[in-house]
Amino acid sequence: MTVRVHVVCDTSEVDHDLNRILRGPSVGCHKAFAGALAAQFQETQARVHVVTGSLKASGDHDVVQGSPHDWEGFIRYGPATERVPAPGPARDAAQYAIFEQEKSDFHNYMFELEEGFGRELYVDAIRSWMRGVL
Pairwise CA distance, residues 54 & 99, whole Å = 14
Beta-ladder partners of 72: 64
Kindly provide the residue ranges of all beta strands, DSSP E only, lying in the chain, ordered along the sequence.
60-67, 70-76
pLDDT, tens digit, 9 for 90 and up, residues 32-81: 999 999 999 998 888 887 777 777 888 899 998 767 778 899 998 876 54
The string of pLDDT tens digits covering residues 94-121 is: 666 777 767 666 667 777 777 788 889 9
Contact 118, 43 (CB under 8 A): yes
HSE value, Cβ hemisphere, 13 Å, CA-based, for 126:
7
CA distances from 50 to 41, 58, 101 (A): 16, 12, 13
State residue 61's pLDDT score. 92
Q: Is 121 buried (19+), middle (13-18) or exposed (0-12) by CB count in 10 A? A: middle
Q: How far is CA 118 from CA 1, 10, 33, 115, 121, in A?
A: 64, 39, 10, 9, 5
106 secondary structure, DSSP code = T
Q: Residues 63, 71: contact at Cβ < 8 Å?
A: yes
pTM: 0.72
